[in-house]
């Protein structure tokens, strides 16, 4: 337990994958969790599995009003909000030289605008309650550069690192903490589908090169969830404004030639 008992936390994009694992972990740590997704059936199913300490809400994060609506739903369900996990995101592939304004706007609307609007809605709620709060942004190591077919995605995640530092600096006197987890390669159903679409065979996750998985496997959603619980909890206080790289190898100064 990490001192999360009774805390009310909104986790966006939490009907599957990393988001669901986060919601599951927070529930196990005693928190009350607002499950969010775009499909009512998926939200209901997640809530049934997670039990009475959860509630659900649907909403498309392409719509600017959704962020405020989800914070309002959390307060309506639990009487307050103590934390936000800005997890929801999309990662469509692109081709350099063929980026359209529509493609760019869609990725940034979900991956960058929605976390900002969600954070601002949560901040307003924290202030109304007169209480501190914690925001954890789920970023990506692609924010540091990214592969050629994820340029726009990488840019959207890079913007989240600046947002995290900016908000944390501004909000520190109010004891509202904001930290970002730049997550590495993690196995989810969506990632499995993406990799198979790109030509990998079923079970590919068990045959990943040690260059990318020194531990023998790429990361699992439950491992990301454990780090998220820590950064939401008072165990990580008063630290704020940190970009924490959730990866199993150093991202700077690594001598990959030694393993080639």
Quick: pLDDT tens for 16-69: 999 999 999 999 999 999 999 999 999 999 999 999 999 999 999 999 999 999
In a domain, 224, yes or no: yes
How confident is the model at residue 256, as a pLDDT? 67
**pLDDT number for residue 121:** 98
List, for residues 78-90, the tens digit of each pLDDT value: 999 999 999 999 9
pLDDT band for 207, please (50, 70, 90 cuts): confident
Distance from C-alpha of 99 to C-alpha of 88, rounded to nearest angstrom: 22
3 domain-assigned: no
Q: How confident is the model at residue 1, as a pLDDT?
A: 47
Residue 212 lies in a domain: no
DSSP strands (E only) in the chain: 8-11, 32-37, 54-58, 83-86, 133-140, 176-183, 243-246
In a domain, 253, yes or no: no
Give the CATH number, domain containing residue 109: 3.40.50.720
Cα–Cα distances in Å, from 29 out to 9, 73, 94, 216, 239? Answer: 12, 21, 39, 28, 21
Residue 173 lies in a domain: yes
191 in any annotated domain: no
pTM across the whole model: 0.94
Active site residues: 153
| Domain membership flag for residue 2 | no
Q: Which helix (H) or strand (E) holds 21?
A: helix 17-28
Q: How many domains does the chain have?
A: 1
How far is the C-alpha of 233 from the C-alpha of 124, rounded, in Å? Answer: 20
Examine residue 234 and state whether it is found in any structural domain, yes or no: yes
Range of the domain at 115: 8-184+219-245
């Amino acid at each position: 337990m990490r001192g999360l008992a009774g805390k009310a936390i909104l986790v966006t994009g939490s009907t599957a994958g990393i988001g669901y694992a986060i919601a599951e972990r927070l529930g196990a740590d005693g928190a009350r969790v607002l499950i969010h997704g775009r499909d009512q059936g998926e939200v209901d199913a997640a809530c049934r599995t997670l039990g009475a300490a959860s509630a659900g809400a649907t909403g498309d994060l392409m719509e600017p009003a959704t962020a405020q609506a989800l914070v309002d739903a959390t307060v309506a369900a639990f009487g307050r909000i103590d934390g936000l996990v800005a997890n929801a995101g999309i990662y469509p592939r692109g081709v350099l030289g063929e980026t359209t304004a529509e493609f760019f706007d869609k990725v940034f609307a979900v991956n960058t605008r929605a976390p900002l609007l969600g954070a601002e809605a949560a901040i307003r709620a924290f202030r109304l309650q007169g209480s501190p709060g914690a925001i954890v942004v789920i970023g990506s190591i692609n924010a540091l550069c990214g592969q050629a077919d994820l340029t726009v995605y990488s840019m959207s995640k890079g913007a989240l690192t600046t947002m995290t530092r900016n908000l944390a600096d501004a909000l520190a006197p109010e004891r509202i903490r904001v930290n970002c987890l730049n997550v590495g390669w993690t196995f989810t159903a969506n990632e499995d589908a993406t990799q198979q679409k790109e030509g990998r065979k079923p079970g590919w996750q068990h045959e990943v090169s040690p260059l990318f998985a020194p531990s023998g496997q790429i990361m699992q959603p439950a491992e990301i969830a454990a780090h998220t619980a820590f950064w939401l909890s008072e165990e990580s206080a008063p630290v704020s404004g940190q970009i924490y790289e959730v990866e199993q190898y150093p991202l700077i100064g690594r001598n990959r030639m030694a393993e080639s």
